[in-house]
A and B are shown apart, each in its own frame.
Chain A
Amino acid sequence: MQKEYKTITEISGPLVFAEVDEPIGYDEMVEIRTPNGETRRGQVLESTSKFVAIQVFEGTSGIDRQSSVRFIGETLQMPLTEELLGRVLSGSGEPIDGGPEIEPDEERPIVGAAINPTAREYPQEFIQTGVSAIDGMNTLIRGQKLPIFSGSGLPHNDLALQIARQASVPEEDDESEEGSEFAVIFGAMGITQEEANEFMDDFERTGALERSVVFMNLADDPAVERTVTPRLALTTAEYLAFEKDYHVLVILTDMTNYCEALREIGAAREEVPGRRGYPGYMYTDLATLYERAGRIEGRDGSVTQIPILTMPGDDDTHPIPDLTGYITEGQIYIDRDLNSQGIEPPVNVLPSLSRLMDDGIGEGFTRKDHGDTANQLYAAYAEGEDLRDLVNIVGREALSERDNKYLDFADAFEEEYIQQGFETNRGLEETLDLGWELLSRLPKEELNRVDEEFIEEYYVEDESEELAQTAD
């Protein structure tokens, strides 16, 4: 049995320092027992021949210098088995659903090794979410990491749930049941009980819980625990995807709380802070989470990530969204103005992006006009948006006929294309056709992003005339 130390010299925020007289491995797990018999778990942040710095997951309150410290001799592991599906665990991986203990088939360190880029397979399979703003304009691909950039009080959770409910891969529907199964891993970090209920109720209502693993760290749970929650979730996801062939969708919320926890630990260690007090290594740290999405050659499963973050002050230059955007493969913006207009889901497509879209759509994947249509919708909506500013100054009358068409287009785009409600599941064809219906309200000559062949095929001839007539 490992030696017990009663050598704590300092307790500071989430950190405990203790003297040691044997070599302790970096990152190794630690158990601290308080005088009243409670156990806290932690991890070695720095190890020297004389002392170690320990980060305590469950908080340091109640720990004193008389507490004993025991080193486990290995790094933090996640117990893994397919039986995890349907279970609800705490943010540090303990069952909290009253169910049986977990009997693992194997255990793996939660700090996952990086996927060798030569072993990756480039993600190209379209996931239909049934949400036009995503399917049509910012297509989600299996193995992608596509975060939702939101703000406090906005309905990002509704969108995440809608995606989790509706996500499907078209060809699989009609082919066979043999295809890999779908699983959802939900990693909650510092969310409120109310939000947690919202998720759990939806999971239960739709029966999704059966194919889900839930990790819950709530707002009143220890902050430092949040640094392990996503790692437990992702280790589970990798196991299910790459050992058990599941297509895993990982929803992590709220990454902002995760980053706050990082900042707290950094401050306790008296590190030189980076921008706005967040650690200088936050980019690298976030990358070790987000990069755990993808596909691997020769394996059937996949890990797709939808991290959710609330941008402090709705500011996307804040380090949390900024560093996230630099790592993920695009982002979906939830917009406050659209939300107050009652648009559901209130997705602002202009700053939104799916970087894997280009290779996963078009002929043989979705529909041949998909890319061009999306580009044209973007360009037209951007133009309409610009004109809105101008209208406020000079009024509609001062604008040309062309400009007025763009203004109408922008309104219609929001009210008919983006607006669909959180319960509606739109097919891809429907989304693409809807796009054409809107584009057809602009003169053909304006559609310079679209191949002429597609205009020929999909342009709805009478739309623009009809509109011209009603305008008269």
Chain B
Amino acid sequence: MSQATATETTDEGVIESVSGPVVTATDLAARMNDVVYVGNEGLMGEVIEIEGDITTIQVYEETSDVAPGEPVENTGEPLSVDLGPGMLDSIYDGVQRPLDVLEEKMGAFLDRGVDAPGIDLERTWEFNPEIEVGDEVAPGDVVGIVPETESIDHKVLVPPGYEGGEAVAVEDGAFAVDETVVELDTGEEIAMRQEWPVREPRPTVEKETPTTPLISGQRILDGLFPIAKGGTAAIPGPFGSGKTVTQHQLAKWADADIVVYVGCGERGNEMTEVIEDFPELEDPKTGKPLMSRTCLIANTSNMPVAARESCVYTGITIAEYYRDMGYDVALMADSTSRWAEAMREISSRLEEMPGEEGYPAYLAARLSEFYERAGKFQNLNGSEGSISAIGAVSPPGGDFSEPVTQNTLRIVKCFWALDADLAERRHFPSINWNESYSLYTDQLDPWWRENVVEEYPEVRQWAVDVLDEESELQEIVQLVGKDALPDDQQLTLEVARYIREGWLQQNAFHDVDTYCEPEKTYQMLTAIQHFNDETAEALEAGVPVEEIVDIEAASKLNRMNTQEAYEQYIDDLKSEITEQLQELY
């Protein structure tokens, strides 16, 4: 975080009271959201309320032992992040302190009062200029390129707050992030590192309508409820229903250029899993290690609650910065409910008037401000970039009527509803196909028609209709049993079962099944459709339904998912189905 690089302080006050993460100070000249250092140990905090002479501060570290009378120093600057090369392949806490550096400094347990800059100030990077002396540059323009990781070229941008002008000096070669690489005639100096206050969106020219899907390699998402590059989605579900696995799957397989993964108030082991797994996994698009396009932010449930409040802002600001370079960024926040709870906890310590279920009245506003920062944008430099934001929601008792779920659903356009019932029977991903929706389907259909196959939207509609019919039939079955249904409806149930078990189910832990390309998603569905059509014909020809559903090839519909050479398998399967049915009449 950038405050670690600033040493000056503008004012000093005195602690008046301490209660958990909330500290009040007197005699401190400060503005709202200024970053301050609290107590003898200099714990980092942020001003969240000013009333007369009393300034209220949320502290990003443990406050045990901090006492009234200790000093508070103001930096005079809002909470900001460091932006520059070195953020990818990194893991930060909620206020952008690099966790690996902290480990070096203080060992396996997180101590406090230790600070470190968000990007390494010593390390040098190869700066390749994109402009020459005499060129005019404006805010947002690319002045040079730094190979940041194997897969990502980091573009050095004129900071948005600059005036811009003619370049009078342009460097080329290895530099540290704070060294000037371009100098303008206005006297402005551009280095590879810049800062940005996290609570303020970085400027763009305009928001555009997204028309390309963010392909996730997850059949139920790509196939039924797609999210656009630049779209927003919520994954609500009770504990253990698959929010984190879905988020991890997206972080692994989504065809974004950059992934920002925010672990907000969740488990330490889950972050460790990412840290251990990602360097070993390959980006299906580039073949490079996944970690080289990933930035992790981990503020686990036992880390200070105020830093949990800020971690989503840190994440989205980093995402915006890469978007400004023209990249498609995917941001996952697991879980936004913990963020909302952090707001509630701080708010109640401030004795603010509580809104619904104790959440502050500004909950809805904060949520929509956050999701508004996602989208497909035209950047200041004319390039196009996007941020797709996918937030997990953890409703108490799994009840979606609670405020965080409800306020999120009013904003986001994809709703991936997880279902405890499906999870219990180990139907994964346990996304309920009746309840979930995507409002992007229509605007993404042209992409499917053009890039996968012309018929895709029709095939999908067929599948949706079968599933709908199944849920109606299931109600009858619950009353009278399956055998009481007419033969054609029994067949429909069978077809629906293959859609559910063979197509919708996808095992995140199976080497092949974990990722399914759009072409395969489509092909698998046509095989089930083929089964549907051929069995209907057999029934028409008078073959008893028990014999039809009993054909040997049928159970192979549930094995297409694990086939690597799926084209051959599916072709063969289709002919087998036809042959075996024809033998019956």
Contact = CB atoms under 8 A, between A and B. Distances in A.
A48 B107 CA distance: 32
Contacts of A197: none
A112 B358 contact: no
B64 A111 contact: yes
Interface string A23-62: 1111110000000000000000111110000000000000
Contacts, number: 224
A274 interface: yes
Contact of B300 (A27, A114, A393): A114
A48 B17 contact: yes
A434 to B, nearest CB: 19
Contacts of A351: 420, 424
A317 interface: yes
B480 interface: yes
Nearest to A446: B555
B396 A317 contact: yes
Interface in B107-146: 107-111
A281 interface: yes
Contact of A113 (B62, B100, B482): B62
Interface string A333-369: 0000000000000000011010110110000000000
B51 interface: no
Interface stretch (A87-95, A198-206, A282-290): A282-290
Given A114-B302, A291-B300, A23 B268 contact: no
Interface residues of A, number: 85
A319 B269 contact: no
B181 interface: no
Interface string B270-283: 01110110000000
> Most B CB atoms within 10 A — which of A119, A271, A398?
A119
Given A281-B345, A325-B240, A398-B481, A378 B275 contact: no
B163 interface: no
Contacts of A273: 358
B110 A114 contact: yes
A19 interface: no
Contacts of A275: 357, 396
B65 interface: yes
B187 interface: no
A288 B305 CA distance: 11
B559 interface: yes
Contact of B276 (A112, A122, A371, A382): A122
Given A114-B110, A284-B301, A350-B425, A398 B483 contact: yes
B140 to A, nearest CB: 34
Interface in B381-401: 394, 396-399
B31 to A, nearest CB: 24
B334 to A, nearest CB: 11
Contacts of A297: 108
B41 to A, nearest CB: 11
Interface string B454-473: 00000000000000000000
Residue among B15, B108, B502, B552 with the highest chain A CB neighbour number at 10 A: B108
Interface residues on B, range: 35 or more
Nearest to B423: A353
A382 B69 contact: no
A398 B480 CA distance: 8
A317 B398 contact: yes
B566 interface: no
B99 A322 contact: no
Contacts of B357: 274-275
B238 to A, nearest CB: 8
Interface in B489-535: 501-502, 509
A449 B427 CA distance: 10
A131 to B, nearest CB: 20
B102 A378 contact: no
A275 B354 CA distance: 13
Nearest to A403: B482
Interface in B261-313: 263, 265, 267-269, 271-273, 275-276, 298, 300-303, 305
Interface string B331-346: 0000000100100110
A281 B305 contact: yes
A33 B30 CA distance: 42
A167 B301 CA distance: 28
B66 interface: yes
Contacts of B300: 114, 117, 287, 291
Nearest to A387: B481
A404 to B, nearest CB: 12
A140 to B, nearest CB: 14
A273 to B, nearest CB: 7
Interface string A303-347: 000000000000001110011011101110000000000000000
Contact of A322 (B107, B111, B239): B239
Nearest to A113: B109
Contacts of B358: 272-274, 280
A181 to B, nearest CB: 21
A322 B397 contact: yes
A61 B525 CA distance: 71
B239 A26 contact: no
Contacts of B399: 317
B301 A117 contact: no
Contact of A280 (B275, B344, B426): B344
Nearest to A375: B426
Contact of A47 (B67, B398, B555): B67
B481 A394 contact: yes
A69 to B, nearest CB: 16
- Of residues B17, B271, B272, B423, which shows the largest number of chain A Cβ atoms within 10 Å of its Cβ? B272
A377 B263 CA distance: 32
B368 interface: no
Contacts of B420: 351
- Which of B70, B484, B502, B558 has most chain A Cβ within 10 Å? B558
A424 interface: no
Contacts of A284: 265, 301-302, 305, 341, 345
Contacts of B110: 113-116
A330 B109 contact: no
Contact of B16 (A26, A48, A272, A398): A48
A393 B275 contact: no
Given A112-B109, A280-B341, A375-B426, A322 B62 contact: no
13 contacts: A22-B69, A23-B67, A48-B17, A75-B65, A117-B298, A118-B100, A122-B273, A271-B348, A326-B394, A327-B267, A356-B269, A382-B424, A382-B426
Interface of B: 15-20, 62-70, 91, 99-100, 102-103, 107-111, 238-240, 263, 265, 267-269, 271-273, 275-276, 298, 300-303, 305, 338, 341, 344-345, 348, 354, 357-358, 394, 396-399, 420, 423-427, 477-484, 501-502, 509, 552, 554-555, 558-559, 562
Interface of A: 22-28, 45-49, 74-75, 109, 111-123, 143, 242, 271-275, 280-281, 283-284, 287-288, 291-292, 294, 296-297, 299, 317-319, 322-323, 325-327, 329-331, 350-351, 353, 355-356, 358-359, 371, 375, 378-379, 382-383, 389-390, 393-394, 398-400, 403, 445-446, 448-449, 451-452
Given A75-B65, A118-B103, A287-B302, 6 more contacts: A317-B398, A325-B238, A394-B480, A398-B481, A445-B552, A448-B502
